[in-house]
Amino acid sequence: MSALLPGATTPGGSRQATLGVLGGGQLGRMFVHAAQALGYRCVVLDPDAISPAGAVAEQHVRADYLDSFGLAQLARDCDAITTEFENVPAVALETLAGMRTVAPAAAAVAVCQDRAVEKAHFEAAGAQSGVYPAPHAVITNDIELAAVDPALLPGILKTSRMGYDGKGQVRVNTQAELAAAWDGLKRVPCVLEQLLPLKRELSVLLARGADGQIVSYPVQQNLHRGGILAVTQVPAPDVPVAVQQQAVAAARQVAEALAYVGVLCIEFFWLADGRLVVNEMAPRPHNSGHWTMNGCNASQFELQVRALAGLPLPELRQHSPSVMLNLLGDLWFSADGGPTPPPWDRVLALPGTHLHLYGKAEARHGRKMGHLNITADTAEAARDVARQAAAILGLPVDF
């Protein structure tokens, strides 16, 4: 496709070049900010009257993702359209693609929406990269349940669709627990993954243009708590260079095999025995890439804009070692349960701290409210300040 130039009017000079995004959450909000910085107008489609992205975009189309009138309006008012979350119906992307440039494509997003399909894609890509998913089994009926290899236990039973941040997942140790867990998940299609001894959790964030150009950030080392990302460190302090190179090569192969266009995040497990396995992917910017907003010459959201608009992807350069702390709504509640704003003044008094709040109207336990980036001249200095910030906020300092 030809590039949609920043700040330009459309053919005929009727309006400024405009980018659309399906979804009004925080990822959409940060995409809008990046697009506006490059001179684009933005339109957000989201059913919520009050949404983080809708609050900052030039236009908010309040409609369901399958509403034909809403999709038609989005296509009419935009030159190119993306999504901020993977569970937007793929059919909505297909509909829009008949009228406008859409990236990532519906077919790629559909792969990410179904764990069973995603695992099959990883298996195929692994034939080239040598990095495969964990041993697993797909369960859609009683016959497949009974045929599960006992070697997959203990394992994690995950719903094939809609699970994220630890939702829709149950740890099982025996066949009886597996059967009970599947019943508890309403017997929807699931994937059972063998539980593996992890050394570290990693992610690779990349962008691929329509011309096939790929750029990737340094490997990110992640720490999850309760199934939700809590801390990201870049450079990855504990991961050998050879493992990092293997992860980047595998991620690029996954993107190539999808003919992917846009920002893509692939998560990996580095195992205690030294092996690398691919876990899952997200067809969008990712929490583990938030550090790029302050630690790199171009953020993941700028790359999302560039890939969508057909602009060249820049050579990426991390200029500052970085730590990202995820900020959940729990921080807004005192020990007695009352609402209490976090002590941002004390946090921001620390050197190299960058606070990003998402503009959400209400804090709730487990809800992502923002993130804190810490940059410094050295990885050790960034980690030290991040631990000080975590202690002020009452977060664990186990990183």
Residues annotated within a binding site: 115, 158, 163-169, 193-196, 201, 224, 279-280
Q: Which residues are annotated as a binding site for ATP?
A: 115, 158, 163-169, 193-196, 201, 224, 279-280
SS3 for the chain, per residue?
A: CCCCCCCCECCCCCCECEEEEECCCHHHHHHHHHHHHCCCEEEEECCCCCCCCCCCCCEEECCCCCCHHHHHHHHHHCCEEEECCCCCCHHHHHHHHCCCEECCCHHHHHHHHCHHHHHHHHHHHHHHHCCEECCEEEECCHHHHHCCCHHHCCEEEEECCCCCCCCCEEEECCHHHHHHHHHHCCCCCEEEEECCCEEEEEEEEEEECCCCCEEECCCEEEEEECCEEEEEEECCCCCCHHHHHHHHHHHHHHHHHHCCCEEEEEEEEEECCCCEEEEEEECCCCHHHCCHHHHECCCHHHHHHHHHHCCCCCCCCECCCEEEEEEEHHHHECCCCCECCCCHHHHHCCCCEEEEECCCCCCCCCCEEEEEEEECCCHHHHHHHHHHHHHHHCCCCCC
